[in-house]
Structure 1
Amino acid sequence: MTASEGPAEAGGVVDALEEHLLGARPQLTQREVAEQAGVPLETANELWHLLGFAHVPDDAVAFTPADVRALQLTSDLIRLGVLSQDRQDGLVRTWGRSFARLADWQVALLASVATEMGSDATEGLLAVSDEVMPRVEELQSYVWRRHLLSASARLLAERSSGTASMLAVCFVDIVGYTSRSRTLSDRELVTWLEEFESAVLSLTVDRGGRIIKNIGDELLIVTDSPEAMAEIALELTRRGADPDDPFPAVRAGVAYGEVVTRLGDVFGPVVNIAARLTSVARPNSVLVDVGTYEALTGHEDDDADHHASDHASDHAGGYRFRRLRRVSVKGYSRLKVWSLLPVVPDK
């Protein structure tokens, strides 16, 4: 709301957007929506909450026929066995989180564009709903289908091989994020983080990896091969150490092994170890676990007490490893850890 825009004007914009985006003004209570969809009221309330929306009294007129259709579709998926009870919470909650974040970003972006064009909130946001949203919706559907194809291909490859999902997992953390964030405005901080994520995304995708999620100033990345992850982690720390590169200094922890994937996220000890290694890594360094070390070198660790000695690998891209003293972190005592180093070119 701008200084010249009162509650009545802002409310009018919301009412108009509601009609544009949902196809009608609110005309139904939640009880009426549940009845028309043939869904128990308790189920309707639960799904509404899981999607991340605020509680609405049963007698409040806050819904449209679009909400009835959404409940009918959900009921169909349950009837078809796609959404069993144990899958409903996770899937619907994931939708709610993902779309809420996406919507916040899109509205902020488009409102900023409208302001730059000299439009007020009413004209700008209504123009967005008329001109931009259909195109955004179509593009989102295309991107979603493309990712469905990629995810399906990965699943089929795993099923045909008959093995568990073996992934390299890496957490990348910005060094000095707290102190840097204090010197930036909200807009500058968002821009800085988006530029960081964009740079990491480009590097990751080029090497066949995927960004699973961001957690504040930290990104979680996975790749199918440890070699690809080693390249990604070393390039990120190299850029962060370059004083002429605006990319921030980072630290990284990499682990390799069996990983459980569910609803686009990853779980298991391998993920936890990667996170713990990142927390103890020095700025501009990459720490790896025993799984990564063995995968990149092609031989098993002999568990000898090689404190801070170098082991050159004759494959895996020619990386060097420096064995570090074992570390104890939350949940894991005396982890085997190596510092991953690029090979210095011969002069």
Structure 2
Amino acid sequence: MTATTLAEAARLTGVSPATLRRWVDAGLVPTGPGGALTPASVGQARVVARLRERGHTLRQIREATERGRLATSSIEGLLPAAPGAWTAEQAGRETGLDPALIARIFQSLGFGAAAVEHLRDDDLQLLRHAAGALDAGLPLEAFLQLVRVYGQAMSQIADAEVRLFHLYVHEPLMREGVPGGQMTEEIAGLAREILPLASPIMDLAHTRFLQHFIEQDVVGHMEADLPGSADRLPGRQRVAIAFADLAGFTRLTEEVGDEEAVGIVERFVDQVQASLPDDARIIKTIGDEVMIVGGDPSALAWWAVTFQQGDVTRPRPRIGLHYGEALYREGDWYGREVNQAARVAARAAGGEVLVTRPVVEHVGPGLAFRPIGEVRLKGFTAPTEIFAAAAGEA
């Protein structure tokens, strides 16, 4: 447990030393042995400062502390300390990166402009790694896209860690009426056991997924030999795009309530994830809608038909599938072809798979396609030829 001076703790909190001392004397900020200020003290002080900025009185904060409502702030004391205060100019001299590029890197990660004003020692190490990646030859555009993906993924992971810990650990302790001090000790003890497991789990998952997508990329290189691929702009690729959602889900939510409806969505997404072909993956979920992208339109069409045959959920899924050239950016896909797949899915009924002509042309025998006709999709001037897909000889 590393002690921190009053002046340093006040600087990290953003208040004066006198204000921080009043909070400590009032019992709002915990201290270590002998009254020493610790990283946990700083974490709690930051929470107090934010609550004060939002208009909460010291009495309200004290009552919340006594009831254990602020107990999770002590977890910050278990995180690695990162002292140091570097300016962007100093960090630039240390790493060889332009200060403007340093600001772009932290903006891409998802941090605000204030993050660059006082860079920490671990920020400097991050920038050294960034400089190494760029020196090795990674194009700047690709690097910044990768950084954005890292930032979005890590932000979602950290948010989920905190929210799930609160929902399944902190709130049950509050409902049991555990005193604030005891709750803080129990939460800190549990976090002390769990936090060291996070990085190994993420490292293992990252390695496994990296191996998987490297294999898929090697197979996908065959596309470089296809006609017209040499003229394709960077970031554009022919992919199969599917959208799947639950027909009548809004009405179901009204009937069964939010909790049960969310459970139905979770089971639906799990079923999709577990059944997808090897070269396809879920790109994102929006409510009950799932966006899927794969390299093989035939495999994705077979998946859609097979999924509908085996589905027993209520309400029934509806699936739309298209094959075309889309633009890849930062882990997501964009463009006209993506929009077309989404519009096709919106025309499907529960239990139905609708596909476009390019899909039909790339699927071998075994699936039957019944013409629906040329349909004018919202946002598209020219009509789109749509087919209903089902098992059976074409």
**Into which bin does the TM-score normalised by the smaller protein fall?**
0.7 to 0.9
Measured in 1, the distance between the counterparts of 2:185 and 2:256 equals 31
Please give the alpha-carbon distance, in whole angstroms, between the structure 1 residues aligned to 2:273 and 2:137.
35
Is there any run of 5+ residues in structure 2 with no aligned partner, and where? 1-46, 48-59, 230-236
5+ residue gaps, structure 1, are: 299-314
Deviation of 1:185 after TM superposition, in Å, equals 6.4
Q: What CA distance in whole angstroms lies between the structure 1 residues aligned with 2:94 and 2:70?
A: 29
Which residue of structure 2 lines up, in the alignment, with residue 321 of structure 1?
369
The aligned residue for residue 232 of structure 2 is none
Please show how residues 82-93 of structure 1 align to structure 2 within 5 Å. 82=138, 84-93=139-148
C-alpha offsets along residues 113-147 of structure 1, whole Å, 9 cap, x if unaligned?
A: 32487487744653454222322211211111122
Q: Is the 8 A contact 2:148 2:330 kept in 1?
A: no
Measure how far apart 1:335 and its partner are: 0.8
**Alpha-carbon offset, residue 180 of structure 1:** 3.6
- Cα pair 2:372 2:386 within 8 Å, conserved: yes
Tell me the residue number matched to 2:382. 333
SS, match of residue 146 in structure 1: helix
The answer to whether the Cα contact below 8 Å between 2:65 and 2:71 also exists between their aligned partners in 1 is: no
One of 261, 276, 286 as aligned partner of 1:204: 276
Pair 1:134–1:332, CA change in 2 (3 A): farther
How many residues align? The count is: 315
The corresponding residue for 2:245 is: 173
For 1:216, which of 287, 302, 320 is the aligned residue? 287
Higher helix share: 2
Larger radius of gyration: 2
Decide whether aligned partners of structure 1 residues 208 and 153 sit closer, same or farther in structure 2, where only a CA change above 3 A counts: closer
- Which whole-Å CA distance do the structure 2 matches of 1:247 and 1:209 have between them? 25
Partner of 2:76: 18
Match of 2:103 in 1: 45
Mapped to 2, the partners of 1:160 and 1:66 lie a distance apart of: 41
Q: TM-score, normalised by structure 2?
A: 0.67
> How does 1:221-260 map onto structure 2 within 5 Å?
221-238=292-309, 245-260=312-327
Equivalent residue number for residue 301 of structure 1:
none
CA deviations on 1:39-96 (whole Å, 9 max, x unpaired) are 444333322222112332765x6x53212211221122122222x3322432222222
Query: Counterpart of 1:145?
Result: 207
Q: CA RMSD in A?
A: 3.6
Return the alpha-carbon distance in structure 2 between the equivalents of residues 10 and 77 of structure 1: 43
Contact 1:196/1:247 (8 A) holds in 2: no
Partner of 2:30: none
CA contact (8 A) 1:37 1:69 kept: no
Instruction: From 92, 113, 132, give the equivalent of 1:76.
Output: 132
**Structure 1 residues 75 and 11 mapped into 2: Cα distance closer, same or farther (>3 Å)?**
farther
Q: Which residue does 2:23 correspond to in 1? A: none
1:195 aligned to 253, 261, 267, which one? Answer: 267
What TM-score, normalized by structure 1, do the two folds share? 0.75
**Counterpart-to-counterpart distance in 2, 1:235 and 1:19:** 51
Counterpart contact for 2:71–2:187, Cα < 8 Å: no
**Equivalences for 1:148-159 in 2 at 5 Å?**
148-159=210-221
2:109/2:152 contact within 8 Å kept: yes
- Cα distance in structure 1, aligned partners of 2:320 and 2:299: 14
Q: Report the counterpart of residue 311 of structure 1 in structure 2.
A: none
Match of 1:66 among 95, 98, 122: 122
In structure 1, distance between residues paired with 2:371 and 2:238? 24
Which residue is equivalent to 1:285? 352
Aligned CA distance change for structure 1 residues 231 and 40 (closer, same or farther; 3 Å): same
Q: Pick closer, same or farther for the CA change 1:322–1:186 going to 2, 3 Å.
A: closer
Shift of 1:278: 0.8
Structure 1 pair 18–221 and aligned structure 2 pair: CA distance change class (3 A): same
Letter in structure 2 aligned against 1:275: A
